Amino acid sequence: MVTRACDVMQDSVVTVSPEDTLHNVRCLFADEQIHGAPVVDDQGRVMGVISTSDLLRASVEDAAVPRAQVGYYEDGLASYDLSDDHVFEETLSGTRVADVMTLDKVSVPPDAPIAEVARTLSQNGVHRVLVIDDDLQVLDLMLKLLEAMGHEAAAFSSPTRALEAFRQREFDVVITDLGMPGLCGSSVVKEIRKQNRDLPILILTGWGSDVDLDAEIREAVQGILAKPITLHSLQRELARLADTRSTDA
C-alpha cells in the first residue's frame, strides 16, 4: 500500500495575513511552536509563505541587530530562536509579512505519494538541519550557506546543547564535526542513533574521505563533508541524501 500526503498531513493549519506584522508572526510561531506558515489574503488565496528564516533575514538587515544575536552563541542558541523580545520587537513590529514573505509556493496534491512529496521538498530546498561544530567561523559559514539554500538551520558549538535541541525538535539532517573537546562527533552520532536509527547524519571533518572512522561510526553515518565547506559540496550532499530517502520511501 502506498502512503500518500493525505495520510500524514495535518488538517489544522495556522495561517497569517499579508498585513500582519513580523512581531505578531514571531509571537504566533512561539505560541504554536512552529517555524513557518502560509500567507493567506481575505479571499482565502495563498499568497506566499513566511518562515523563521524570513524573520531572521529581516532582523539581520537592521543594523541595530548584531549578526550574532540571530545566528548562534557559544552556548548553543539555535539560529531560529526568536524568543528574545528585547532584540527583535522594535525591528519586527515595523515590518509587514507582505514585505518579506517568500512568494514561491511549493505544493503537492493530497493524493501525492510520499516519495513524490520527498522529492518536491528536496528540489525546493526544504530541510531542517542541525549543525554542530566548536569552530564558530565554520558555524557561521554553514548558517549562511544553509540559509542561502532555503533551509532552516540550528547551529551549536556545544554538542551537549545540540543534543538537548535534538531531543526537543525535529530535524531532517544532522551535520556534526568529528574532533571537538568534551563530547566528540563519534559520541554525538552514537547518542543520536540511540533515539533515531534512520535520520541522515553527515560527518564534518578536515580529513575528508580519508578520515579514520571505526566501523560502527562509518556504518552509522550517511556521508562525509570535507572542510573547507563550499556551497557546491553542501548542495551535492543534501541532494544525495534527499534522493536516497525518496527512493527508500
Tell me what pLDDT residue 60 has: 55
Residue 40 has pLDDT above 80, yes or no: yes
pLDDT tens-digit series, residues 13-35: 899 999 999 889 988 988 887 77
Tell me what pLDDT residue 35 has: 72
Please state whether the peptide bond connecting residue 228 to the residue before it is cis, i.e. omega within 30 degrees of 0. yes
* Three-state secondary structure call for residue 140: helix
Contact call for residues 76 and 143 (beta carbons, < 8 A): no
CA distances for 246 relative to 5, 119, 120, angstroms: 13, 6, 10
- 184: cell is 566528540
Residue 80 has pLDDT above 70, yes or no: no
pLDDT tens-digit series, residues 83-126: 445 545 666 677 899 998 888 767 778 888 877 776 676 666 55
Mean pLDDT lowest among 74-78, 107-111, 176-180: 74-78
Residue 55 has pLDDT above 80, yes or no: no
Q: Confirm or reject CATH 3.10.580.10 for domain 7-100, answering yes or no.
A: yes
Spatial neighbors of 142 by CB under 8 A, at least 6 apart, are 131, 133, 153, 155, 175, 229, 234
Mean pLDDT lowest among 83-92, 130-139, 158-167, 171-180: 83-92
pTM for this predicted structure: 0.56
Tell me what pLDDT residue 66 has: 39
Residue 82 has pLDDT above 60, yes or no: no
**What is 114-248's CATH superfamily?**
Response regulator (3.40.50.2300)
> What does the domain layout of the chain look like in residue ranges?
7-100, 114-248
Residue 63 has pLDDT above 50, yes or no: no
End-to-end CA distance of the chain: 12
194-206 average pLDDT score: 91
163-175 average pLDDT score: 90
Place of cell 530517502: 245
